[in-house]
Structure 1
Amino acid sequence: MQTLSTDVAIIGAGTAGLAAYRAAREHTDKVLLIEGGPHGTTCARVGCMPSKLLIAAAEHAHHASHNGVFGVDYAAPKIDGKKVMQRVQKERDRFVGFVLKSVDSFPAQHKISGYATFVNQQQLQVEQADGTQLTINAHRIVIATGSSPFVPEFLKSAGDRLLINDDLFELTDLPQSVAVFGPGVIGLELGQALSRLGVKVVMFGASGSLGPLQDEKIRDYAHAQFNQEFYLDSAAKVEHISHQGNSVQVRYQHRDKGLISESFDYLLAATGRRANLTQLRIENADLTLDDLGVPVHDRYTGQCGQSPIFIAGDVSNAIPLLHEAADEGKIAGDNAGRSLKNAADVRAGLRRTPIGVVFTEPQIATVGLSLPQLKQRGEHCYAIGEVSFEDQGRSRVMHKNIGLLRVYGEQGTGLLLGAEMFGPAAEHIAHQLAWVIQMRMTVPQILDLPFYHPVIEEGVRTALRDLNHQLHIGPEMVEKCLDCGPGA
């Protein structure tokens, strides 16, 4: 059995692992990057990029929905499912290629292909692709093994008609019908895209939740809007699932029809993800684990207790987003390398204002603190301002006047603390709100910033003016004020 020694060993070459590798190399050249599966990152292969490619096709197919509004009408779209999937896969492979090219540039001696398990806090055993065993002694270890789709046991009765998002992007043609289980981010994005591409979609949830939304008013609004396009029950009562030939049968309580059975080509399980820890033999690392078996760690340093082990990315079970994984990887890799000379030299890294976007139409965005988090602070510690986009000028001009924005501010200080939105241009508005929250700006300071006319962002100003009044800082908002411009 071969034995190697290194300063930093990184398990996993996804977004977090690659960021950790680059950061650690700023301190030492003795770094090993261990990857058991294919390179290319979850985002590029099966996540954000292929899903956005499917959504882009769906948006083009949906143009005819505006018929009768502008005086410019479209014929019903002719959707070639095979060509849709060919473009998704071709462009997906191109994005993966960019990642592979980057990894190829790393020195060969830094890369190990195989699956790692812990022997102790500073030793790993790697089963390499050729079946041979490799022992690695490392002064520091970074766990960046990512996450995998979680499929509840009762869905597995769908047999070979069961899909996860990884499988969906490998289809050569669009199916005729899909039952989507899980109205989270993945389920909503893929479900709406498939529906707009002519696939019959029925979506089931269990807990009543919808995407990342925590504000009940916005969640109810969004739930009603999605039901305009496809059947969605976020608290469904599903009685039975069975595999029948080339289809899957679902028996459930329909809101209007009572108990019914429907047949679908596939069942798509979008029921969340779980940290990739089971194969690591994490128990050998002698770490404190939480209720889900994830190592307890400092989110600002990535360090697991006082151990020489750091954790980053989706495996930390915190915020499963690429930019968060990149930040966590950079912090963990930097501290793993930095602490080689002085074990106490572990520094807090920058954690940015939380921001999340769901690329449905209308889009969903969450920024900063959520409403439940604010309620934990005390019912009288915050105030809420809101705006409907149904009569907002620029939104009506574009016939995208569906949506609601709610902004949250702190009583006393006037600081903007968070926001939730279901509406037009949410991906852009979320960034603007995240920036001013991270800069710790007050609502009056934000209102002093420029707002052009006519733009969707004028709706943000309306919500902030409402919040300013609710915080007892400014006057009551004047409805349809003339200085805002018509339809602001």
Structure 2
Amino acid sequence: MFLNTLTRRKVYARWTRPGKFDRNLIVIGAGAAGLVSAYIAAATKAKVTLIEAHKMGGDCLNYGCVPSKALIKSAKLAHHIRHADHYGLQGTTPTFSFARVMERVHGVIADIAPHDSVERYADLGVEVLQGYARLIDPWTVEVAFPDGSTQRLTTRSIIIATGAAPFVPPLPGIDDVGYLTSDTLWDKLRDRTEAPKRLVVLGGGPIGTELAQAFARLGSQVTQIEMAPRLMIREDAEVSALVQAALERDGVAVLTGYKALACGVTDGAKWIEVEHQGQTRRIAFDDLIAAVGRSPRLKGFGLEELGIPVNRVVETNDYLETLYPNILAAGDVAGPYQFTHTASHQAWFATVNALFGSFKRFKADYRVIPWATFSDPEVARVGLSEAEAVAQNIPHEVTRYGIDDLDRAIADGSAEGFVKVLTVPGKDRILGVTLVGAHAGDLIAEFVLAMKHGLGLSKILGTIHIYPTLAEANKYAAGEWRRAHVNPALLAIAERYHRWRRG
């Protein structure tokens, strides 16, 4: 305790602390982490100011989760119309205006926007300022407003929740071809009557995979380029193979193990040059989406001037505190995950530690973090994958249930995928779950709950699941584990008992 106090004093030594403070908390950024932080602060009656330079709701509402899922829904419906014969109906080529699809996407954003609006948060007791925030010292934030005016505010604590932005690879010529990102495509493609005719998606992670499949289903000729040997490299190889096969059925040309070298325009025609196994080729396209990852927003907030260490993200300790304990970070800017739900999760720890840390601090808990990729079929995971368990030499057993055997999936025409559960050898304690199939992102929740609260597969097996539902896949996976762990000696005794009872 004494050493911590001494260290803190040294950190603050060159700054003059204000005699009093305007606020208890200032939150910089109104994305998921910032909104939740401001909400919690207001709910505990703290005086809190939320500063946002652009749009309330951040990336998830305006550029990421919401618009992409709206697009995926329209694309899935087009897919079902095209393949209606799979359901005993007349399959036909869907006719639609792409501009109407994009109009619906923006309509969905508008319908959800009130949840994250200035008005809602003002009603909750949050002061919301639209402007650019910059740290002046550990307790002072300067806000630059659009009209050119500035205001300085003092506060006991600050939470940095500035999010992330798409990373654009430094390919020669990429600026010349007018690339799109997951942030810009929603406005730049908004008024087109047709989807891009020839589309290159650069990147084979979740964002690139979702967009490649959606645009292919909406009529684009899509080429997806990934430098890694397979799509979705963080998942097990069998997951990558299943997803790639699904994309290829939808017409996506998936190029894995291909390195992008350069982009250019020749006689008005755009192209990208790629290299694979020593051979180069050029791929013509009309539009290109750069979806190779996202980089935290770290510049322009005064972090450098205060000497707050930043590497790939803002460096924080287990309590989400930066070099200055009263300045914390949450969400994409803090890492280690870039998920909206993780940002919200971190926001609780950051806010409680910021406001009440002098009494008790809480370490951010990353033990059970789920995520999903909303391809078709969906991919969801929580905990260890099989490849991770092997790489880390963690003893484990693998239990698998094929969704192709599930009654509801067969009835729905979605009998594809599997549930794979990793457990401690000889025990039903869950180490990780990978779920591939329709609504995997929803079905994983039961396993998340079980892992969070230490419930094993026996508890899932003993829970009544409605028939016929997709959720039964979780129960049947637990049943597969149970069958593999029946005691043969007890079965032999039971068999002799029943023989004796027959006389």
Alignment partner for residue 227 of structure 2, among 206, 213, 228? Answer: 206
Deviations 1:86-145 (A, max 9, x none): 11122222222442242353668x233322223332233333322233333322111111
- Aligned residue identity for 2:428: G
Give yes or no for the alignment of 1:105 onto 2:120: no
Within 2, Cα distance between the matches of 1:252 and 1:95? 40
Report what 1:150 is aligned to.
Answer: 167
State the secondary structure of the residue aligned to 2:336: coil
| 1:371 CA drift (Å) | 3.1
Within 2, Cα distance between the matches of 1:452 and 1:39? 40
Alignment partner for residue 154 of structure 2, among 131, 137, 140? Answer: 137
Give yes or no for the alignment of 1:327 onto 2:339: no
Deviations 1:274-324 (A, max 9, x none): 1111222313334444x42522222xx332366111111111122222222
Within 1, Cα distance between the matches of 2:467 and 2:107? 40
Within 2, Cα distance between the matches of 1:161 and 1:360? 26
C-alpha contact (below 8 Å) 1:181/1:203 kept by paired residues: yes
Superposed, 1:30-179 pairs within 5 Å as 30-100=47-117, 101-105=119-123, 110-154=127-171, 157-170=174-187, 171=189, 172-173=191-192, 174-179=195-200
Deviations 1:211-239 (A, max 9, x none): 37422222223223322221112322334
Structure 2 unaligned regions, length at least 5: 1-19, 489-503
State the secondary structure of the residue aligned to 1:119: strand
Report what 1:346 is aligned to.
Answer: 361
Bigger relative contact order (CA 8 A; separation at least 6): 1
Report what 1:248 is aligned to.
Answer: 270
Within 2, Cα distance between the matches of 1:246 and 1:334? 56
Structure 1 unaligned regions, length at least 5: 476-488
Query: Which deviates further from its counterpart, 224-233 or 161-170?
Result: 224-233
Matched residue pairs, number?
462
Superposed, 1:264-413 pairs within 5 Å as 264-289=285-310, 291-298=311-318, 301-304=319-322, 307-339=325-357, 343-348=358-363, 353-375=368-390, 378-379=393-394, 381-413=395-427
State the secondary structure of the residue aligned to 1:180: strand
Report what 2:17 is aligned to.
Answer: none
Deviations 1:335-384 (A, max 9, x none): 21223xxx2532346667311122211111112233344335534x2111
| 1:38 CA drift (Å) | 2.4
| 1:23 CA drift (Å) | 1.7
Deviations 1:374-429 (A, max 9, x none): 335534x2111112333443322222122232111112442012111222231222
Change (3 A) 1:208 1:294: farther
C-alpha contact (below 8 Å) 1:40/1:97 kept by paired residues: no
| 1:51 CA drift (Å) | 0.8
- Aligned residue identity for 1:359: F
State the secondary structure of the residue aligned to 1:314: coil
C-alpha contact (below 8 Å) 1:218/1:421 kept by paired residues: no
Q: TM-score w.r.t. structure 1 length?
A: 0.86
Identity of aligned residues (%): 25
State the secondary structure of the residue aligned to 1:378: coil
Deviations 1:232-259 (A, max 9, x none): 123223343213476521233589xx75
Report what 2:8 is aligned to.
Answer: none
Q: TM-score w.r.t. structure 2 length?
A: 0.84
The CA RMSD over aligned residues, in Å, is: 2.7
